[in-house]
Amino acid sequence: MANLENPIQSKSVGSDAEGTHRLSSSISIESASASAEPSPILEGVFAISKPTTKTTPQILLDIQTIFATSTTFTPLLQLERRKRAEQEAHQPSGQKLKDEERDGRFFKLGHGGTLDPLASGVLIVGIGRGTKHLSSYLSSTKTYETVVLFGIATSTYDIQGEEVERKSAEHITAELVRRKISENFTGTFRQVPPVYSGLKVDGVKAVEYARLGKELPRDLVDREVCVDACEMLEFMPPNTHEFCYPAAKEGERTVVEAMPAARIRLTVSSGFYVRSFAHDLGVACGSVATMASLHRLRQGGFFTPDLFSTSSSLNEDDQQETVEAATAASNSTQFVPAIPYADITSSEETWAPQIRSALTTWMAQNPARDPNARGPGRKGRDKEVKRQRFRGEWLAETKRERVLQQGGKSKGKLSRKKNGNMEEGDK
C-alpha cells in the first residue's frame, strides 16, 4: 500500500509545487502589468517646417500615415476607433459611416493656415483636441521672408504663374525700394487680394474661376491689413542672384536673370498676402514685380531657426541682440520650434521626442474638460451677478421688461392677470 501511495503522494506534491509556481508567475505578471503605466494620449497643436516640394494637403496625408503606424499615437488611434465604433452602433439600420481610414484619414487633423506650394516654413498642425484651437492661430501675426523679382509680372503674382507683362527695372535701386516700403507698406492700409486665392465669390473660390478661364462675377474687395515691421535685408542687382522666371525658352532665361531683386522681411497681420505685396511694390517703384520665394519664419509662438538669423545689414549690437533673442526663445515655453519635415519622414526615434515635448506642453496649458464635471448650479452662482438670458442693449429687471425683451406683449399663462393687466413691479 505504501508503494502504491508514494507515487500518488509525490505526484500531488509535484502538482502543488507546479500550481504554486504558476500562481506566483501569474501574480508577478499581473503586478508587472499593473505597475506599467499606460501610454498617454497625445493630442494638441504643433508645427512642422514645410519644404517647397510638398503641398499642405500632401503633408497632412503623410502625417496621417506616419502617425497611424507609430507607437507614439497608438493610444489616440485606439480612442478614435472606439469613438467611430460607438457612432456606427447608433446609426440607423441600412446606414453606415464613411470609412475614413480607407482614405488615409485616421485622426482628426487640420492646419492653422495653409502655405502655397512655392512657400516653405512654419505650418501649424492640430491633432485630436487641438483641431478645435486652430482658429486662434489664423488670427495671429506672422513673420515672412520673401524675395521680390522686379521687371516681370505673372498671373499668380509669383514665378509659378504665366508671364503677363515685362517692364524695365534698370532704375530700381536699394534706396528706392526702402523709400517706397516706408511710404506705402508700413502700418495699416488696404490691400487687394490676388485672384489666385482661396477667397470665395458667390460660393466659389476665386482660384477656380481663374483656372477655368472665367472672369470673376465681381472684383475682389480690398481689405484692411497691418504691417508691424517691414525691412529690406538685401538688395541684389542684376546678374548677382539665382532667382529667375522659369521661362519656356532657354534663351529668355538670361534676360530674366538680368533683373534686380530684393530680400524683404515682414511681420504682418492676418489676411495679408505677400504675393500682392510683391506685385504692389513693383508698381510703386515704377515697374512690375513678382514673388520669387517665400518662407514663413514665425506664426504665433511657433518659429524656425531662420527667424533669428543675423543679416549683413545689422550692426554688431543688433546682431548680439538677435543671438540673445534666439537663445531666450529656445529656452522659453512661449516659443516652440517647428519640427523639420525631414525628421517627420525619418524614423520614429527622431521625431517622437520632439512631438511628445510639444504636445505635452500644449496639453498642460490647455487641460481637457472633465466630462463628469457639472457647473455650480443656480444655488452656487453669485447672487450679485444677474443672469442675462437674452442679448440686448439693456438688462431686464421686471417681468414686464423681460416679456418685452423677448419680443411680445405677453408670454404664457403666468404673464397674464385675471383683469388682463400686468403689475409694474411683478417679477
The cell numbers describing 404, all together, are 418685452
**What is the per-residue DSSP string for 147-187?**
EEEETEEESSSBTTS-EEEE---TT--HHHHHHHHHHHSSE
**What is the per-residue DSSP string for 24-78?**
HHHHHHHHHHHHSPPPPPP-EEEEEEE-TTS-HHHHHHHHHHHHHTSSTTHHHHH
Identity (one letter) of the amino acid at 387? Answer: R
CB atoms within 10 A of CB 109: 17
Q: Report the phi/psi class of residue 25: left, alpha or beta, with left for phi > 0 and alpha for psi in -120 to 50.
A: alpha
Is residue 314 within 8 A of residue 155, CB to CB? The reply is no
- Coil, helix or strand at residue 397: coil
Closest of 367, 358, 359, 369 to residue 76, by C-alpha? 359
CA distance 188 to 268: 10
In this structure, what are the phi and psi dihedrals at residue 263, rounded to the nearest 5 degrees?
Answer: -100, 120
CA distance 337 to 139: 19
For β-strands 289-299 and 302-303, DSSP reports them as antiparallel
Q: How far is CA 167 from the centre of its chain?
A: 38
Q: What positions carry a catalytic annotation?
A: 116
C-alpha dihedral (172, 293, 235, 283), degrees to nearest 10: 20
**What is the per-residue DSSP string for 405-419?**
HTTSS--SGGG--TT
- Coil, helix or strand at residue 217: coil
Provide the angle, in degrees to the nearest 10, between the axes of the packed helices 174-184 and 274-284.
120
Going by the DSSP 8-state scheme, the letter that residue 310 receives in this structure is P
Find all residues with CB under 8 Å of 74, minimum gap 6, and list them. Answer: 39
Going by the DSSP 8-state scheme, the letter that residue 366 receives in this structure is S
